[in-house]
Amino acid sequence: MKKVIFLVDMLSFYASVEKADNPQLQNKPVVVSGDPKKRSGIILAACPLAKKCGVQTAEPLWEAQQKCPNAIIVRPRMQRYIEVSYQITQILEQFTDLVEAFSIDEQFMDVTGSQRLFGDPVTIAKKIQQAIMEGTGVYGRIGIGPNKVLAKIACDVFAKKNDQGIFQLDHTNIQEQMWPLPIGKMFGVGGRMERHLERMGIQNIGHLAQFPVHLLKKRWGINGEVLWQTANGIDYSPVTTNTHNHQKAIGHQTTLPRDYETLEEVRVILLELSEEVAQRVRLQNYRGNTVTVGARGASFEYPTGFHRQVKLASPTNFGMDIFQAAFKLFCAHWDGLPIRSVGITLSQLQPADFYQLSLFDFSLRKEHLSQAMDTIRSKYGPTALVRATSLTKSGQAFARAEKIGGHYK
């Protein structure tokens, strides 16, 4: 039996949830946006009525208001969106046990074995749309394909633009439907790769599909072959329920409420982020070997910043170990210009159950201390224990504790 994969995507998810929860917003242009006073004033979601006025996701709120003066601005409620996303997952699991979350508003489904129960792929897709609408009030678009990459392209390029909200893309119609698309429309091709490919004379997906694969591999290695396979509708990755069970890295990034200009200010936020990363790593029973620090400058016209990493002498999940490596990296690569955002990641994760003991780093003592801190924070909240530096003007621990994914709950 041929594989049948769905990519289910929610229309303007955050805005749709707000309209479903508040019927008075139904026929009005709604945008979900952060607080412009705290540098988070960008559009996170815009309903179709707002999009008709030209409002786009990720643009500044003030620009959106100029395009759509009568738009109703709603502050994000991340906890609510997570709850609805989980509710949608439960609905999808009524049709198949193979449901894989791709993002908060996108989920893959393998319905190959469900056709005997629910009908052909388009019939199943319609039933899923109806179930999601009845259960949550949110409208879902569905891309259908024989694999994940074609299902994704079917949804993003075609299903989102037709009245039915459903489109099937497979090897019988990719030459007609997918190959004429500009190369930038292909899943996995970002802006930089698009420019590289266009300079090679590859203007659309069909050009890439027929380009000699050995030349792509020579230039980009395995990634070149993946690009060629995607253009030809080839993808062997299965829909799996344990995608997020084996993380390769855990990190935190934050946009600062103002430009941080001194090393002492940045030191405070690096310490807070290090502690947050370490706590998450311990919670998932990992240790990591590599610390990565990224920073972005305050100027948009002349962007500055860096992204550097260092490998540790031994794997760790202790906040101060991560901080010391991160701070050393930052000091070595910072150009001294004001900083707008900063992030820390611990990668090359491995199970924490087994690790090499050292005679010099007092791992057991640090482990007991970390366990005690985790227990207190778990019982009394993330700000039950904070470092004294978090009480300074540079500290963001209390503000971040009220957020999920960088936005207020």
Q: How many other C-beta atoms are found inside a 10 Å radius of the C-beta of residue 218?
A: 10
The pTM of the full predicted model, rounded to 2 decimals, is: 0.79
The count of other CB atoms within 10 Å of the CB of residue 243 is 14
Burial, 403: exposed, middle or buried (Cβ in 10 Å; 0-12, 13-18, 19+)? middle
Looking only at the bridges linking them, the beta strands covering 99-103 and 403-404 are unpaired
Domain regions of the chain by residue span: 13-77, 176-231, 246-408
Question: Does 106 participate in catalysis according to the annotation?
Answer: yes
Q: Is 35 annotated as a binding residue?
A: no
C-alpha span between 56 and 44 (Å, rounded): 9
Q: What's the CATH fold of domain 246-408?
A: Dna Ligase; domain 1 (3.30.1490)
CATH number of 13-77, picked from 3.40.1170.60, 3.40.50.1820, 3.40.640.10, 3.40.50.10540: 3.40.1170.60
CA 174 to chain centre: 28
CATH architecture of 176-231: Orthogonal Bundle (1.10)
Distance of CA 271 to the CA centre of its chain: 24
105 is in an annotated binding site: yes
pLDDT tens for the 409 residues of the chain, in order: 789 999 999 999 999 999 999 999 999 999 999 776 665 578 999 999 999 999 998 888 889 999 999 999 998 998 999 999 999 999 999 999 999 999 999 999 999 999 999 999 999 999 999 999 999 999 999 999 999 999 999 999 999 989 999 999 999 999 999 999 999 999 989 888 999 999 999 999 999 999 999 999 999 999 999 999 999 999 999 998 876 666 788 998 888 888 999 999 999 999 999 999 999 999 999 999 999 999 999 877 777 889 999 999 888 999 999 999 999 999 999 999 999 999 999 999 988 876 666 656 667 788 888 888 889 988 888 888 888 888 888 888 887 877 776 666 6
The catalytically annotated residue of 18, 100, 106, 265 is 106
